[in-house]
Each structure stands twice: as C-alpha cells, then as structure tokens.
Amino acid sequence: MRRSRHLLSLAAGLVLGACAAGAAEARVIALPPFLVEETAKALPWRYTEVAGLEVLSSCPERLTRDLIANHHRLHVLLGELLPPALQLRMTEPQTLLFVDSAQQPPTSQEVVARMALTAAEQDRLDDAVVPVDDGRLRRRPPPPRYTFLPNLRLWDRDAGTLFAIVRENEFDANRVALTPDYVAYLLRNRLPALPPWFVSGALTLFARAKFTEDALTLERLDWLSETGSAALRTGPEANRPLLPLPEFFAGELSPSDPALGEALSLWQAQAALFVRWGLGGRGAPRRAALWKFAARAAVEPVTEALFHENFGLDFTTAHQQLTGYLPEAIREKLALRPAQRPRLPDYALRPASEVEIARIKGDWERLEISYVKTQFPALASKYLEQARRTLQRAHDRGSRDPRLLAVMGLCEADAGNDVAARAFLEDAAARTKTLRPRASFELARLRFAAFGGQRAGAGPPLTPDQAHAVFTPLLAMREQEPPLAEVYELLAEVWAVCAQAPTRDQLAVLEVGVRIFPRRSELVYRTAELNVRHGFNDTARWLITLGLTLAPDAAARPRFEALQARVNAVR
C-alpha cells in the first residue's frame, strides 16, 4: 500500500489486504479505520452540507474548508472530461468524513485489543496464517500485526463515503488527485450503461491525465506502443489503420481473427483516440456533440444517421478526420479547463449535532462491515458491534431522526436481522415522506416477505391493500438516483402474485426498468410473462426478442422460447 506524505488521497476501490512480510515476520492485516467511542474528550466534530456533499470533520476549520474546496475543484475539472450527466448520479449527497491525524483514534494494536476476541475467534485468526516450511520444520509465523488504512472510499448501492485521516502541516492540494478506480466506478455504474467505446476511451485517457490547479491535462496518446507512436509521427497514411466506424461502435471482434489480441488493442486505442478527438479542437467544437452522442448511444443503437445528427459528418468523413488527427494526438497534450475557476457557494461550517455524528459515523462503520468480510471475515462481527453501538447511542438518548433510523434499519438488514430492520425502517417511513433509495427498497422487501409464501406461489394472492403497502415505498423511489434493478424485479414479483390485474400503464413502469437494465434477464422475462398473461402481446413480443438477444447463456433461452410459443399461439 502506498501512502502519500499528506495521508490524503481521494481514493476509490483500493485493493488492500493482508500481505506476508517473510517467514520470520508477522503478517500485516490492513483494516478499515475503527473509530472507537471518544470517552475522555469528544472530538470537535464540524458539519456542513454544500454542493452535493455532506461533511463531518474533526479537522480545524481552515483545513476542513480547504479539503472541501479541493474535493470540489477536482470534480469540476473531472467534469471537463466526464460531465455529471455521464457519471453515476446519486440523490443522496456524497459523504466526506475527515479525521485530524493529531486527534486520530488509538493505534491499531490497542483497538484490536479492545475488540476482545474470544478464544474461538483467535483460533480462526491463527488458522488464517499459513504454516511456513523453512526446510527443517514446519512452524507457524508470529500472530498478525494490524494497521489501519489512512484513507478509503466505500460504496453502498445508493451512496458513497470517503474517509481520510489528514495531517494539517502536510496537506498539499496540488498532490491530491482522483484515482482511476474511482473514476471507473463513476463511469461503469452510470445508468443507463454507457457504451463500451466511451467507457474504455475515457478511462484510457484519464489513466495518464494530470490534475493541476486549474486544468485536467491529457497526456500525449500512446498509440499501441511507443514504437508505434514514433512511427506514426512521421509515417505515411498506411501506418495509420483504423477500424471502420460501424465495426468500432459495434465493439465486436471476430473470434476467427488470428490476431484477436492485436485487434482488441487497436479497438481500445481507437476508443481513446475517438474520445480525445471529440474533446479536442480549437474552442472544443465537438465536445458537446461527443457527450450527447455518448448519452444517446447508451439507450439506442449507433447508426450513421445518429452520428450525423450529432457531429454533422458521415462515417467516411469522420474516419478521415480521425486518421488525420492521430499524429496530433500522439504529439501534443490536451489541457481541459473549465470556463470559470471552480468556486463553492458560501456555506456555514458549524458544530455537528450528536445525531449527525452518530448517523454519519455509524453509516461509515456499517459500510466497513462488508469490506472486512471480504478481507478478514473473523473481525466482521466486531465492526458490526461497533456500528450498532455508534447508532444506538443516539437512539437511546431519544433521537428518532428518520435518517438515523434508516441507517439503523440498513445496518440490521445487512446483518440479516430482518425483524429489527423492519421496525427501524417502518419508524423512519412514518416520520418522513422520502427515504434514501436503498432504505425504501428494503422496507418494501420486508413488507412483502411478511405476507409470507407469495414468492413461492403458496398461499392466497396478495390483496390490493397488501400490494399497495409494498408498492408505496418502491414507487416513491422513481424520482431518485440511482435506479435500482431490484426495485423493478420486486414490482414484477408483486404483480405476479397480486389478486388485482395490472393495467397497461402499471406494466409500463416495468418496461422503464427493462430499458435501464436490459441485461437483467430475470427482469426481462418476468415483464414479458406478465404482458403475455394479461394479453398485451405486442409488448410481450419485443421483450421476448430482447431476452433472446441478450440471454446470458443457452440455459436462459428455453424460457423465452416457451413464452414466444405462447404468444405465437394467439393469433
């Protein structure tokens, strides 16, 4: 793990875990930060909401404001490559959790000691350490040592949180950058899904981009290899082969091609070239067209007519322009600058309330549980205990803040405690009209499960009132971001067992989900089957065609074929 001097990297998707330091050295276990309760002296937590951010910080006010401004600056600069409309969008504000390194929690060894592992849990830790053979005997290495990650970004399906421990005298905004993994997450989870050529091209360009104070600078394009780039700088037109644009946008490579690896490399290089061509040019004449074209290509096939509508060029002319632009792309950098210097609106940074501290810290600790389960599962229960303590403390003191209750419900849902989860979520829903997307889904899921047996088709159908109780939180989410595939799948499940027949407009809601998640085969099938069952055969036909086209494997096709036969039998 690389640590920067200032201990702050606005990072995402860190791949961190245990590593062996040698036969005679203890293994190092890298854990997410464990924020123990402040019993001696409470940290001076500060709170604000600004520009789509929710911030909880124990850093001095000036440093906190610098951190917020820098986070905003980096994202404004990123927007010159990827506008917000082409990134993952979330209704919930991004959460920033900053801890002053001068007041950071106890050392990792002290915290692990406080976890008070039972003998059985310690045995599991020991079992995780593989015996080492030194040629003479087999022996067990020393017990693992523990360290805490100074920064980490974790995600739920509807929200994300950045945690960072910051040292004030070492913070340097010019040495902080957004990581490629973070940008990849924003791109690959955007809905509807962006076309592969845009995702590949943008990520290739960003991987070698540099942040400066007022610009995001794209490095010279590395065309397949440095040798290839050098040849293209002065080589003839024949040295600049590009894929025909219809083939490039389709993103399909012939399996019979003996040079498949080379073809894939060419496609990836051309994706970077095309995106850079769209961004470049004096006055950026094609930039808005590129972004609009990428957004439309996410929901409709790329045709020459669509291309011409956006760029005013046919494929042949565009191919010629791309070929001519290639030498410039490998010779020159491209600086992307916003029209105005990034600037935050005025905001108040005030002392955080007890409920805000409990909710934000508790939600962070909840997200840590899944991370620990994948990295070091023996300690996951300790993180769950800590999250519960943090959240319960404010609840025990009388808080019934609906956002706190929603986090408590999600924490119990993640832990598999459905009874407690539903109690917290029902309480939250009774106190506010709008829950965060995942809390709404979990509430609907738990209500549906409480009716018992309907998933398997056992028992009586759902009454209209029961169906309404499930639909209410699901339909409330339709204006929130991001859309969740499981919401539409649950809507289909409910209609499948409801005593009341759905109207055409009600089934159209499911088709919205299909268009957002066309590769969710189960959602496509359930929506098609409901349309067949209720006589909407024209709609069913296009859904069946979609399912057969995008079926993930041969095993998924027979159900669609059987459904197709049912429709064809109705003439």
Closest to 531 measured CA to CA, from 555, 553, 509? 509
Can you count the helices (H) and strands (E) in the chain? 22, 13
pLDDT at 14 over 80: no
pLDDT at 8 over 50: no
Beta-carbon neighbour count of residue 372 at 10 Å? 19
pLDDT at 251: 83
pLDDT at 35: 65
CA distances from 426 to 143, 305, 355, 356, 443 (A): 45, 51, 19, 20, 7
54-90 tens-digit pLDDT: 999 999 999 999 999 999 999 999 999 999 999 999 9
Name the pLDDT band for 23 (thresholds 50, 70, 90): very low
Q: Where are the alpha helices (DSSP H) in 40-104?
A: 61-78
Percent of the chain with pLDDT over 70: 80
How far is it, in rounded angstroms, from Cα 295 to Cα 317? 22
Is the domain covering 501-571 a CATH 1.25.40 domain?
Answer: yes
Name the pLDDT band for 506 (thresholds 50, 70, 90): very high
pLDDT at 391: 97
Place of tokens 């996410």: 298
Mean pLDDT, residues 40-48 = 84
Helix (H) or strand (E) holding 278: helix 260-279
219-277 tens-digit pLDDT: 999 998 654 444 454 554 445 589 999 999 998 655 455 556 788 899 999 999 999 99
407-446 tens-digit pLDDT: 999 999 999 999 999 999 999 999 999 999 999 999 999 9
How far is it, in rounded angstroms, from Cα 256 to Cα 560? 29
Closest to 443 measured CA to CA, from 380, 400, 496, 486? 486
Q: Cα torsion for 523, 524, 528, 533, to the nearest 10°?
A: -20
Helix (H) or strand (E) holding 96: strand 94-100
Name the pLDDT band for 300 (thresholds 50, 70, 90): very high
pLDDT at 216 over 60: yes
- The pair of structure tokens assigned to 492 is 């289909």
pLDDT at 455: 53
How far is it, in rounded angstroms, from Cα 184 to Cα 180? 6
How far is it, in rounded angstroms, from Cα 155 to Cα 255? 36
Q: Which residues, including other chains, have CB under 8 Å from residue 562's CB and lie 6 or more apart?
A: none
For residue 138, give the 3-state DSSP assignment: strand
- The pair of structure tokens assigned to 514 is 């299909």
pLDDT at 1 over 50: no
Residue count of the chain: 571
For residue 312, give the 3-state DSSP assignment: coil
Higher pLDDT, 339 or 122: 339
C-alpha neighbours within 13 Å on the C-beta side of residue 43 = 25
Mean pLDDT of the chain: 86
pLDDT at 33: 73
Name the pLDDT band for 26 (thresholds 50, 70, 90): low
Helix (H) or strand (E) holding 330: helix 315-331
Percent of the chain with pLDDT over 90: 69
Residues of the chain with CATH 1.25.40: 501-571
CA distances from 45 to 357, 358, 383 (A): 7, 11, 22
Query: Which residues sit opposite 148 in a β-bridge?
Result: 31
pLDDT at 5: 30
pLDDT at 2: 36
How far is it, in rounded angstroms, from Cα 189 to Cα 112? 35
How far is it, in rounded angstroms, from Cα 402 to Cα 396? 14
316-346 tens-digit pLDDT: 999 999 999 999 999 999 999 999 989 999 9
Query: Which residues sit opposite 100 in a β-bridge?
Result: 166
pLDDT at 125: 54
447-470 tens-digit pLDDT: 999 997 555 556 789 999 999 999
525-560 tens-digit pLDDT: 999 999 999 999 999 999 999 999 988 788 889 999
- Comparing 125-139, 355-369, 432-446, 455-469, the range with the smallest average pLDDT is 125-139
Angle of the 402-414 helix axis to the 437-450 helix axis, nearest 10: 60
In Å, the largest CA–CA distance within the chain is 80
150-170 tens-digit pLDDT: 788 999 999 999 999 888 888
pLDDT at 12 over 60: no
CA angle 77, 7, 180 (to 5 degrees): 40
Higher pLDDT, 191 or 262: 191
How far is it, in rounded angstroms, from Cα 479 to Cα 91? 9
- The pair of structure tokens assigned to 274 is 């095309």
pLDDT at 253: 56
How far is it, in rounded angstroms, from Cα 350 to Cα 61? 9
Name the pLDDT band for 481 (thresholds 50, 70, 90): very high
DSSP helix, strand, coil percent of the chain (3-state; round to 5)? 55, 10, 35
